[in-house]
Amino acid sequence: MMMLNSLLVLAAAMFALAKTPNGFQPASNSDLMVFYNNTAALNGIAVAKLVTTSEPQIGTVARLTGKTYAVLMIDLDIPTNSSKTNTLLHWMQTDLTPATTASRFTAANGSVSVFLLENRGNTSAFAPYIGPNPPARIPLSHRYTQILVDTTNLTSQGASELQTAAATRIGFTASTVLAQAGLSGKVVAGNSYNVTNPWPVQAATGATNANTSTSTTKTGATNTASFVPGASSTFASEAGGSLRYESFALVAALGVMVLIV
């Protein structure tokens, strides 16, 4: 029993080494600490969507010595019409600087001291934060991955490459963008957590036979209302701006109704 426990602890410790998900590039084995209003969103755990609506506080356990940093957050599990998934940039904020004093947070393993990365100059985000909102499609659970990049030596041309790339959120490929900006090898920390769409639960309590012809219009409409927020956020993000939010939400709503009715 003791032996099994130690093995489990060891396995947990080994699992915790993967800060960015398997296969994600550029990978990092250093912890980026991510907290949403004191809720730790670390090490691949599933976090409630409600907690993640506003941008998190991020930091590191050891104080970083670079001048400036950028954080990128990417959804790795955007559903498409093919068997492959796509990516979506949720956040790109540059000009972050390490705090001089540590703040205390509560993580799964206890209280931790974290040097937050702060946007002291109030620099506008190249891609303003969009909270996770996975639609009711496979995969229901999405990995939201954050990487912290040392931008101390970023040139103005590099900054402009980042800004241009951030304008297209869908299909965002971090390794390509960082290479274009002259930031290959500058990732200093990473993290990932999941947010899951509760579609199966809703289907079980609502229209269990959602795709049979016996479904009433009312059932379809009720379901549409509860599913669309997930779909609309993704579509709004794909549109790259809030101007087209409404029309995309409508298209998404119609799409869901067609699926249900």
Ligand X SMILES: *[C@@H]1O[C@H](CO)[C@@H](O)[C@H](O)[C@H]1NC(C)=O
Binding site for ligand X (CB under 6 A): 16, 31, 37, 42-44, 46, 54, 61, 66, 77, 81, 107, 109, 112, 121-122, 139, 141, 143, 150, 152-153, 186, 194, 196, 209-212, 255
How many CB atoms within 10 Å of residue 247? 12
Which C-beta is closer to ligand X: that of 9 or that of 243?
A: 9
* Spatial separation of the C-alpha atoms in residues 19 and 58, rounded to whole Å: 14
3-state DSSP assignment of residue 204? helix
Which C-beta is closer to ligand X: that of 89 or that of 143?
A: 143
| Alpha-carbon distance values, 155 to 46, 159, 163, 181 (Å) | 37, 6, 12, 8
CB of 164 to ligand X, least distance (A): 21
Type of residue found at 232: S
CB of 103 to ligand X, least distance (A): 14
CB of 16 to ligand X, least distance (A): 5
Q: Report the helix count and the strand count for the chain, using DSSP H and E.
A: 6, 9
CB of 224 to ligand X, least distance (A): 15
* Spatial separation of the C-alpha atoms in residues 119 and 43, rounded to whole Å: 24
Which C-beta is closer to ligand X: that of 1 or that of 201?
A: 201
Which C-beta is closer to ligand X: that of 77 or that of 161?
A: 77
Which C-beta is closer to ligand X: that of 1 or that of 173?
A: 173
Q: Smallest Cα–Cα separation from 152: which of 70, 257, 240, 50?
A: 70
CB of 212 to ligand X, least distance (A): 6
- Detail the DSSP E strand segments found in the chain: 33-36, 39-40, 57-60, 69-78, 86-98, 103-107, 110-118, 141-150, 187-196
Which C-beta is closer to ligand X: that of 1 or that of 65?
A: 65
CB of 222 to ligand X, least distance (A): 16
How many Cα atoms are found within 13 Å in the side-chain-facing hemisphere of 122?
A: 0
